[in-house]
């Protein structure tokens, strides 16, 4: 399978807060720019498109391989149970299309540095203001 036949889907939980979902859409766009591959967002719950619609769109655009990148911090229930169940349904719906799932963020060597960066920012006074707490 060549890279040109591959589409990436950034798969996140989804939120009632539109701006949270927009962040995932922007992340998919940035991923597309950095990889040179088409990338889109899909959501497990609340937001659209769901994974079924995103995969169908990628296949309709010519993808023969769909790489799902779970945007989940840990290898929890959604990655262990929900995602494999959905992938099974997608494989049945799209015979001949290879569906691949990357690792979640857990275990990535850069994760601790990202958190350390956030600690440094907080210690420098860059924190979430009260207007953003508890809204999503």
Burial per residue of 116-128, b for 16 or more beta-carbon CB atoms within 10 angstroms, e otherwise = eeeeeeeeeeeee
Q: How many domains does the chain have?
A: 1
Q: Is the residue at 114 inside a domain?
A: no
- Split at pLDDT 50, 70, 90, the class of 133 is low
Domain range for 39 is 3-106
Calculate the average pLDDT of the chain.
93
- Top pLDDT among 63 and 135 is at 63
- Taking 50 as the threshold, does the pLDDT of residue 136 lie above it? no
pTM: 0.88
42 domain residue, yes or no = yes
Give 47-75 pLDDT, tens digit per residue: 999 999 999 999 999 999 999 999 999 88
Instruction: Judge contact between 116 and 122, C-beta under 8 A.
Output: no
Q: How many CB atoms lie within 10 A of CB 101?
A: 17
128 belongs to a structural domain: no
């Amino acid at each position: 399978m060549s890279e040109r036949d591959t589409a990436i889907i950034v798969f996140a939980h989804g939120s009632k807060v539109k701006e949270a979902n927009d962040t995932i859409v922007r992340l998919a766009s940035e991923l597309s720019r950095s990889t040179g591959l088409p990338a889109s967002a899909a959501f497990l719950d609340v937001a659209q498109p769901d994974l079924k619609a995103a995969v169908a769109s990628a296949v309709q655009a010519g993808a023969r391989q769909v790489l799902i990148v779970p945007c989940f911090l840990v290898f929890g229930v959604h990655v262990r149970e929900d995602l494999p169940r959905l992938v099974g349904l997608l494989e049945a719906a799209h015979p001949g299309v290879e569906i691949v799932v990357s690792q979640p963020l857990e275990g990535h060597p850069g994760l601790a540095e990202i958190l350390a960066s956030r600690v440094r920012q907080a210690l420098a006074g860059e924190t979430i203001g009260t207007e953003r707490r508890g809204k999503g």
